[in-house]
């Protein structure tokens, strides 16, 4: 934050909106006004204009010129990254998966902090090839008996990795992440034909974020992931004060009940005070589906 020339925010959360006002007193802040629905033309046009306004703000504040060719080149690189991330996390469709959920999360989360995209894509390719080679050579990092768990809900990183640890120390393995990292940001590509700004606006507006109403894209993605990854149970992680995910828990529970998939919701925060409680709950959940 200290070294940032421009801080970019979006209005997914009421708390964030007010925080940006405070932050703008000490940093250069640009806020993108995110619509709360994905299907009507007014929302699509608003977000398209917000993308264009963001481009103009970058050019003005950072004294640069952004051409359509620059954007198209960046889109190609990021699409390649998304394809590689998708290939990586889909390795866990195997029975048993070739890596643990903690190892998968380390790559998915860590990839967000590497800004040389070409170098990152090369590293992802090498990681995928190594995991495949080890698996084909008989290396087993996960027991065949481990129950296959999908984690959904709020962003999962840092201290909240306690959820993954509790699951995998209790006889489960996390095979997929339908959070704000993992499958969700890599699932859709940006159209490489036509107006690149319209393509960017369309791709990002269609992410299944719980701020959207209705949030059909998230439910469709969850349904397909449960089937594709042969999931035994779903754990939803909700952060305190993240009200949209908290309320959407009821919709997710009803959806999974129709598929006869065991489900548990855990509300937590960025502290370690509930580690023992979470471990107890995850152990009971894994035992229930065993």
CATH of the domain at 111: 3.40.50.11900
- SS3 of the chain: the string is CCCCCCEEEECCCHHHHHHHHHHCCCCCEEEECCCCCCCCHHHHHHHHHHHHHHHHHHHHHHCCCCCHHHHHHHHHHHHHHHHHHHHHHHHHHCCCCCCCHHHHHHHHHHHHHCCCHHHHHHHHHHHHHHHHHHHHCCCCCCCCCCEEEEEEECCCCHHHHHHHHHHHCCCEEEEEEECCCEHHHHCCCCCCCCCHHHHHHHHHHCCCCCCCCCCHHHHHHHHHHHHHCCCCEEEEEEECCCHHHHHHHHHHHHHHHHCCCCEEEEEECCCCCCHHHHHHHHHHHHHHHC
Domain final residue, candidates 22, 37, 66: 66
Do 96 and 18 belong together in one domain?
no
Residues 32 and 87 in one domain: no
Using 50, 70 and 90 to split pLDDT, how confident is the model at 114? Answer: confident
pLDDT at 138 over 90: yes
Do 37 and 73 lie in one domain? The reply is no
Whether residues 9 and 95 share a domain: the answer is no
Separation of alpha carbons 233 and 288, rounded Å: 10
Domain boundary among 66, 101, 117: 66
* 25 shares its domain with 123: no
For the residues 12-33, what does the mean pLDDT come to? 93
Tens digits of residue pLDDT in 244-275: 999 999 999 999 999 999 999 999 999 999 99
Among the ranges given (44-48, 147-151, 181-185, 255-259), the one the predictor scored with the smallest mean pLDDT? 181-185
Q: Is the pLDDT of residue 14 over 90?
A: no
Q: Are residues 29 and 107 in the same domain?
A: no
User: What does the pLDDT look like over 185-225, one tens digit per residue?
Assistant: 888 999 999 999 999 999 999 999 999 999 999 999 999 99
Helix axes 68-89, 117-136, angle to 10 degrees: 20
Question: Of the residues 51, 66, 81, which one is the last residue of a structural domain?
Answer: 66
Q: What is the mean pLDDT of the chain?
A: 94
Is 59 in the same domain as 82? no
Q: Is the pLDDT of residue 156 over 90?
A: no
In total, how many domains does the chain have?
Answer: 2
The answer to whether residues 259 and 226 touch, using CB atoms and an 8 Å cutoff, is yes
The answer to whether residues 250 and 133 belong to one domain is yes
Any bridge partners for residue 29, and if so which? Answer: 7
In which domain, by residue range, is 257 found? 67-289
Burial class (CB within 10 angstroms; exposed 0-12, middle 13-18, buried 19+) of 142? buried
Whole-number pLDDT of residue 143: 94
Residue 185's pLDDT is: 85
156 & 285 share domain: yes
Residues 84, 59 share a domain = no
Q: Is the pLDDT of residue 241 over 90?
A: no
**Pair (176, 58) in one structural domain:** no
Whether residues 58 and 76 fall in one domain: no
Q: What pLDDT band is residue 94 in, cutting at 50, 70 and 90?
A: very high
């Amino acid at each position: 934050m200290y070294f940032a020339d421009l801080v970019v925010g979006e209005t997914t959360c009421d708390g964030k909106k007010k925080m940006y006002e405070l932050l703008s007193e000490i940093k250069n802040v640009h806020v993108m006004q995110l619509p709360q629905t994905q299907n009507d033309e007014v929302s699509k046009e608003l977000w398209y204009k917000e993308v264009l306004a963001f481009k103009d703000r970058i050019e003005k504040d950072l004294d640069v010129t952004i051409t359509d060719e620059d954007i198209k080149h960046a889109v190609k690189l990021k699409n390649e990254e998304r394809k590689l991330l998708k290939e990586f996390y889909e390795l866990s469709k195997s029975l048993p998966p070739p890596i643990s959920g903690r190892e998968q999360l380390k790559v998915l989360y860590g990839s967000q902090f590497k800004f040389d995209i070409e170098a990152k894509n090369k590293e992802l390719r090498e990681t995928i090839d190594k995991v495949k080679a080890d698996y084909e050579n008989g290396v087993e990092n996960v027991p065949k008996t481990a129950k296959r768990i999908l984690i959904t809900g709020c962003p999962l990183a840092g201290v909240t990795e306690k959820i993954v640890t509790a699951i995998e120390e209790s006889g489960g393995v996390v095979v997929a992440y339908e959070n704000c990292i993992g499958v969700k940001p890599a699932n859709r590509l940006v159209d490489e034909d036509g107006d690149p700004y319209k393509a960017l606006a369309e791709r990002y507006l269609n992410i299944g974020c719980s701020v959207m109403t209705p949030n059909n894209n998230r439910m469709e993605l969850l349904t397909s992931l449960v089937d594709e990854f042969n999931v035994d149970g779903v754990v939803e992680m909700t952060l305190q004060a993240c009200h949209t995910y908290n309320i959407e828990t009821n919709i997710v529970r009803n959806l999974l009940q129709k598929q006869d998939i065991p489900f548990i919701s855990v509300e937590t925060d960025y502290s370690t005070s509930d580690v023992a409680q979470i471990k107890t709950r995850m152990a009971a959940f894994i035992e229930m589906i065993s």
